């Protein structure tokens, strides 16, 4: 059987999809200031490709550590970049957005680091006792839905920053901006994601602290 080379891994089908995600995300960054509709479509395509790379990895048996890291880094980079622009649109709420970026980055980094440090094969392998995280990571439809609502919520806030965009007449609400309607619909899924981030951060901290405690106990023995 032929030996698999590093170059072949870099050009696995799911990794090629990952590169397309990076390209579309960067393109959306350059359009954000003046082209909200184009930005929404292109950024949305980048997010939809996130659901495709995992499917292709399983279909072609092309899972890889590089692909997993590329996927997570792209997720965090695209979301953080969009939130950075929200700080420009809504400077009054910049501290809130900064806290959200910090929570997102720290919880995912610590979670992956703790998983690898404790011998875990994947950051998506969660014990059933952590029921919320277990449901989030073990059921693909939950993971996809929650992540979609999370991204759509931030996109809704982005659109809300352009008052010239379309408004709707909503029963019992009145005249509403398209961004406001989207944000209201996506809010439950968005809140779920932030709660999951907090639980994930706590779990990772406990895993690392437990490992440190075992190491310290062995030294004293």
Q: Which residues are catalytic?
A: 75
- Let me know how long the chain is: 221
φ/ψ (deg, to 5) at 28: -65, -30
Give the whole-angstrom CA distance, residue 95 versus residue 187.
Answer: 20
Q: Name, in order, each residue with C-beta under 8 angstroms of 157's C-beta and a sequence gap of 6 or more.
A: 86, 89, 90, 179, 183
CB 75 within 8 A of CB 18: no
φ/ψ (deg, to 5) at 168: -125, 155
- Report the Cα 88 to chain-centroid distance in Å: 21
């Amino acid at each position: 059987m032929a030996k698999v080379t590093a170059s072949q891994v870099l050009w696995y089908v799911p990794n090629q999809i990952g590169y397309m995600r990076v390209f579309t995300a960067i393109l959306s960054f350059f359009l954000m200031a003046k082209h909200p509709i184009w930005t929404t479509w292109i950024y949305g395509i980048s997010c939809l490709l996130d659901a495709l790379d995992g499917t292709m990895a399983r279909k072609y048996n092309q899972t890889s550590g590089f692909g997993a890291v590329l996927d997570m880094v792209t997720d965090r980079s695209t979301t953080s970049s969009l939130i950075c622009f929200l700080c420009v649109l809504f400077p009054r709420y910049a501290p809130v957005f900064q806290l959200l970026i910090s929570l997102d980055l720290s919880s995912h980094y610590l979670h992956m680091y703790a998983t690898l440090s404790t011998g875990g094969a994947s950051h998506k392998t969660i014990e059933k006792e952590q029921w919320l995280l277990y449901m989030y990571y073990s059921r693909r439809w939950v993971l996809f839905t929650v992540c979609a609502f999370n991204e759509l919520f931030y996109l809704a806030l982005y659109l809300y920053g352009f008052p010239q965009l379309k408004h709707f007449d909503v029963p019992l609400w009145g005249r509403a901006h398209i961004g406001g309607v989207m944000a209201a619909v996506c809010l439950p899924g968005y809140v779920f994601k932030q709660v999951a981030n907090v639980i994930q951060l706590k779990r990772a901290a406990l895993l690392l602290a437990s490992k440190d405690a075992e190491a310290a106990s062995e030294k004293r023995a």
